[in-house]
Amino acid sequence: MTYVSLYRKWRPQTFSEVISQQHVTRTLQNALKMGRIAHAYLFAGPRGTGKTTVARLLAKALECAQGPTPEPCDQCPNCVQIRDGLCMDVIEIDGASNRGIEEIRDLREKVKLIPVQAPYKVYIIDEIHMLTTDAFNALLKTLEEPPAHVVFIFATTEPHKIPATILSRCQRFDFKRLTVPELSAHLSRIASAEGLALSPETVALIARNADGGLRDALSLLDQCVAFAGEKVTLADVEALLGTVESEVLLRFVDLVAERDLVRGLAYIAELMDSGKDLHRLARDLMSHLRNLLLLKLAPAMRLEAVEPELEERLRGQAERFTRQALIAGIEVLAEAESEIRWASQDRLPLELALIRLVGLVEEGAAAPKTTAVSAAQPAVTAVTPAKPDPVSAARAPAAPAAPADDFGRRWAAFLESLTENGLKNMVSVFRQGDPPRLSGQTICLEFAPTKAFYLKKAVDNQEAMEKAVRRFFGEEFCFKPLKRGELPPAEAPEERADREVPGNGAGEDVRRDPLVRKAIELFGATLVKVEP
């Protein structure tokens, strides 16, 4: 006898063993009790939440010797045969490999035949979303008015792929993802029944990594047992999953805060060589930054599933970043995460993300650094930082923190109104940019280097786009498309022109000076005055 994996071995055989889907089981059991049995059911939900299991249970409940019964006996010949997959009247069809119209025609022919031994003929079609359109349509007529002895049960992970005409003929049940505590409780139960020794932390780690699927959780447990024997320790699971401990995250983010690019890059190499999963690292970093952001926004909040001691350290780390840097950091990591997903190499996207993260921190701290630059170059006495210093911006009464979110909402409303006015082309260009930034009265839209085409479109049509912006936001606003990384001017361009000393021909020369150019490129600048 070959080994049977845990998730198959522990497939529930009665309704009471099904966990966390009470909204489904209870409805079904009541229907069975009252004899109100529909002729078609659709079970939808993510992988590993019990669709196929409940379908088989429902079949059992219908076919049981005492049936239809709310709880099958699991002992009568019908129940036993269904459990072993031998019952002639419960027909399980894999929709993915029997997906054509021929198979469905064949099924329609056989549906008419009376059941052999049980009261009902139950058709379970798994992965129903894979049927072809023709096959679905061929099924419609039968599905609407099947013979009295037939019950259809469909199971799918992708209900949106099923035609509305099929959906409207079925009773639909949505299975939900399992929560971590539910998974943990179930895992511990199975572990003790299997005679395995697992600490609660180990169970919780497995549950967290199962992403809501019971099958995933049990396969993981299986793998852990295969790896470590009957005593599974936390370290075993960590080694198996390549998870990243919170120490690693703290250290990584500290390096970002210290703007230590060299050690940051070396650290990535070190993590990679020690077998860490960098894709997972990117994801964990994202949730780490999310925690920091939450603590920053709501210092009184308690994070769930984080130990108090760790939370203190997180709080300290949150102090080191501005809110904007954290939000932008999460965006950078989200981008890196999707890059990693599509690349076969995971190191480079993470390295680039690190560089951008460090860049973000530097941007936030750019203000104090300008003094150093102007000191080094006495010819230029006043290079004012173009980006408003976040601290002073927060203090200024005219610009409280709220408008930023407000602006995001208004921007969305703006795009909406454009769509309604039939300016879809313009909307698609607007949407290709990064989230827009409002600096002064100028709306800056940055485009990633890969979006050069759209940037060009935006530049070409700047006038029309600006007109649209003004119509919505008011006449005083301007619109400026930029390359990503190009810092937006602090004030509207016209104002800047005004402030450049008129009649001082040296202005342009100074702009051409490589050092000044570099400074402007780095910090963005308004040239105020040139002293010889």
Partner 1 sequence: MRFADLLGQERNVRLLKAALVRDRVAHAYLLTGPPGSGKRSMAEVFAAALDCEARGPEWDGEPCGECRSCRKVAHGNHPDVQVIAPEGAHLKLEQMQELRRENARRPYEARYKVFIVDRAEAMTDEAANCLLQPLEEPPGPAVFLLLTAYPARILPTIASRCSILKMASLPEALIARALMEEGRPEEQARAAAALAGGSLGRAREVAGRWETLREEAREFYAAACRGDRVALLNRAAAWSKSREEAQERLELLEALYRQLLLEAGGSPPGVWRRVLGPAEDGGGLSLAGARTVLEAVMWAQRALSANAHRRLLLEVLFLEIARCHTGGDSLPGLAEEPA
Q: Where does this chain bind partner 1 (CB under 8 A)?
A: 2-3, 5, 8, 46-48, 52, 94-97, 99, 126-127, 130, 157, 213, 215-216, 219-220, 222-223, 225-229, 239-240, 242, 261-262, 265-266, 272-273, 275, 277, 279, 339, 341-345, 348-349, 351-352, 355-356, 359, 448-450, 452, 455-456, 459, 483, 485
Q: How far is CA 227 from CA 223, 237, 239, 490, in A?
A: 6, 9, 10, 59
When the beta carbons of 263 and 529 are compared against partner 1, the nearer one is 263
Considering the complex, what minimum distance in angstroms separates the CB of residue 249 from partner 1? 19
When the beta carbons of 34 and 226 are compared against partner 1, the nearer one is 226
How far is C-alpha 177 from the chain's CA centre? 15
When the beta carbons of 224 and 295 are compared against partner 1, the nearer one is 224
Considering the complex, what minimum distance in angstroms separates the CB of residue 194 from partner 1? 11
When the beta carbons of 273 and 405 are compared against partner 1, the nearer one is 273
Taking the C-alpha atoms of residue 191 and residue 466, their distance in angstroms, rounded to an integer, is: 64
At residue 396, φ and ψ (nearest 5 deg) are: -60, 130
The neighbouring-strand residues paired with 385 are 525
Per DSSP, the residues of 493-519 read: HHHHHHHSPTT-THHHHHHHSHHHHHH
When the beta carbons of 296 and 457 are compared against partner 1, the nearer one is 457
- Pairing mode of beta strands 442-447, 437-439: antiparallel
Q: Which residues contact 357 (CB under 8 A, 6 or more apart)?
A: 256, 329, 332, 333
Taking the C-alpha atoms of residue 364 and residue 259, their distance in angstroms, rounded to an integer, is: 11
Considering the complex, what minimum distance in angstroms separates the CB of residue 95 from partner 1? 8
Considering the complex, what minimum distance in angstroms separates the CB of residue 13 from partner 1? 15
Secondary structure of residue 352 in the 3-state scheme: helix
User: Which amino acid, one-letter code, is at 325?
Assistant: A
When the beta carbons of 47 and 149 are compared against partner 1, the nearer one is 47
Name the nearest CA neighbour of 438 among 392, 401, 467, 471: 401
When the beta carbons of 242 and 390 are compared against partner 1, the nearer one is 242
Considering the complex, what minimum distance in angstroms separates the CB of residue 69 from partner 1? 26
Considering the complex, what minimum distance in angstroms separates the CB of residue 459 from partner 1? 6
Taking the C-alpha atoms of residue 206 and residue 180, their distance in angstroms, rounded to an integer, is: 9
Q: How far is CA 102 from CA 131, 132, 370, 402, in A?
A: 11, 11, 75, 61
Please compute, for residue 80, the number of CA atoms within 13 A of its CA located in the half-sphere on the CB side. Answer: 3
Name the nearest CA neighbour of 442 among 482, 415, 400, 402: 482
Considering the complex, what minimum distance in angstroms separates the CB of residue 323 from partner 1? 24
Secondary structure of residue 122 in the 3-state scheme: strand
Considering the complex, what minimum distance in angstroms separates the CB of residue 281 from partner 1? 13
Considering the complex, what minimum distance in angstroms separates the CB of residue 211 from partner 1? 9
Q: How far is CA 509 from CA 219, 264, 271, 370, in A?
A: 69, 39, 48, 20
When the beta carbons of 243 and 291 are compared against partner 1, the nearer one is 243
Considering the complex, what minimum distance in angstroms separates the CB of residue 314 from partner 1? 27
When the beta carbons of 76 and 459 are compared against partner 1, the nearer one is 459
Considering the complex, what minimum distance in angstroms separates the CB of residue 469 from partner 1? 20
- Pairing mode of beta strands 90-94, 121-126: parallel
When the beta carbons of 5 and 417 are compared against partner 1, the nearer one is 5
When the beta carbons of 205 and 295 are compared against partner 1, the nearer one is 205
The CA R_g of the chain, rounded to the nearest whole Å, is: 31
Name the nearest CA neighbour of 457 among 493, 422, 486, 432: 432
At residue 214, φ and ψ (nearest 5 deg) are: -70, -35
Name the nearest CA neighbour of 518 among 322, 370, 312: 370
